[in-house]
């Protein structure tokens, strides 16, 4: 099962991904985690330059790079899926749909960039008002993180797309532990639906 953990910047995806991994481990469910963007590849380095404003790409090129970065890792994702029961992706295709449409790109065009990649079986959108997340940000904000207005639009895009695509919205404003409990319950239910009881 491929699980996408999504949400606006600084909503706590990394913490929740790692708590979910620990929970899976303690329940003897084999899992792997992977994050996007993967900044370690050639395209990943271009993405870093774009986010830091060192590369002046149009939004179209920027979002093609994000998708290409996943295509670079297609084999790796497939390999992880073949050897683990659960693969957790910290940001995946849904990020490109939410950020891309928030920046005015066409949804169909963005969907096409992802067509052919392994599809997430469960997408969890961690949701909290971006204004409450600002204190969590470090000093090295990238071009997206600097704009609270963009983050608000991205949040609305996630909520709208969640309805369209059946993504699960997780209230991430309830504290780390409660958020983790909600995530674990959601994953346990999805596993049970696939015949894997925990
Ligand atoms: P990060 O802060 O999680 O490393 O992600 C960097 C930024 O890239 C973040 O603001 C979200 C954005 N992004 C997209 O717009 N599309 C994508 O497909 C991915 C993976 C990230």
Instruction: Give the pLDDT of residue 141.
Output: 73
Measured in residues, the chain has a length of: 198
What does the pLDDT average to over 186-197? 96
Enclosing H/E stretch for 6: strand 2-7
Q: Give the pLDDT band of residue 171 (cuts 50, 70, 90).
A: very high
The predicted pLDDT at position 198 comes to: 87
Mutate to test the pocket of ligand 1, among 91, 110, 150, 161 (most ligand atoms within 8 A of CB): 91
Q: What pLDDT score was predicted for residue 22?
A: 98
Mean pLDDT to the nearest integer, 148-167: 97
CATH number assigned to the domain comprising residue 33 = 3.40.50.300
Domain count, the chain: 1
Task: Specify the 3-state DSSP secondary structure of 156.
Answer: helix
- Closest by alpha carbon to 9, among 149, 166, 181? 149
pTM exceeds cut of 0.85: yes
Asked, for residue 61, whether it belongs to a domain, the answer is yes
DSSP 100: H
Nearest to 92 by CA among 36, 48, 147, 156: 36
The residue whose CA has the least distance to atom 10 of ligand 1 is 144
Question: Do the domain assignments include residue 47?
Answer: yes
Tell me the residue range of the domain where 129 lies.
2-193
Name which residue leads in pLDDT, 140 or 163.
163
Note the pLDDT of residue 144.
Answer: 75
In a domain, 198, yes or no: no
Q: What is the pLDDT of residues 21-80, one digit of tens each?
A: 999 999 999 999 999 999 999 999 999 999 999 999 999 999 999 999 999 999 999 999
Residue 140 pLDDT greater than 70, yes or no:
no
Query: How many whole angstroms separate alpha carbon 104 and alpha carbon 167?
Result: 21
**pLDDT, position 143:** 73
Ligand 1 within 6 A of CB of 66: yes
Q: What is the CB neighbour count within 10 angstroms for residue 81?
A: 15
13 C-alpha to ligand 1 centroid (Å)? 12
Kindly tell me if the per-residue pLDDT of 142 is higher than 80: no
114 lines ligand 1 (CB under 6 A): no
| Torsional sign, CA 106, 62, 74, 87 | negative
Has residue 12 been placed in a domain?
Answer: yes
Within a domain: 28: yes
Where b means 16+ CB within 10 Å and e means fewer, 28-56 reads: ebebbbbebbbeeeebbebbeebbeeeee
Which residues does 66 contact at the CB level (< 8 Å), separation at least 6?
36, 37, 47, 95, 96, 99
Digit-coded pLDDT (tens) for 92-139: 999 999 999 999 999 999 999 999 999 999 999 999 999 999 665 555
């Amino acid at each position: 099962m491929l699980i996408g953990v999504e949400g606006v910047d600084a909503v706590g995806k990394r913490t929740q991904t790692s708590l979910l991994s620990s929970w899976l481990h303690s329940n003897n469910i084999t899992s792997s985690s992977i994050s996007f963007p993967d900044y370690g590849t050639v395209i990943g380095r271009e993405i870093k330059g774009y986010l830091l404003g060192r590369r002046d790409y149009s939004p179209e090129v920027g979002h093609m790079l994000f998708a290409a970065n996943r295509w670079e890792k297609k084999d790796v994702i497939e390999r992880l899926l073949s050897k683990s029961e659960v693969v957790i992706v910290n940001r995946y295709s849904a990020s490109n749909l939410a950020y891309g449409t928030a920046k005015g790109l066409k949804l169909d065009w963005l969907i096409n960039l992802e067509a052919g990649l392994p599809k997430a079986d469960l997408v969890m959108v961690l949701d909290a008002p971006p204004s409450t997340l600002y204190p969590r940000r470090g000093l090295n904000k990238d071009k997206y993180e600097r704009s609270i207005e963009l983050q608000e639009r991205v949040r609305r895009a996630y909520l709208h797309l969640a309805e369209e695509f059946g993504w699960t919205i997780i209230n991430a404003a309830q504290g780390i532990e409660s958020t983790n409990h909600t995530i674990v319950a959601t994953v346990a239910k999805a596993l049970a639906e696939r015949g894997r009881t925990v």
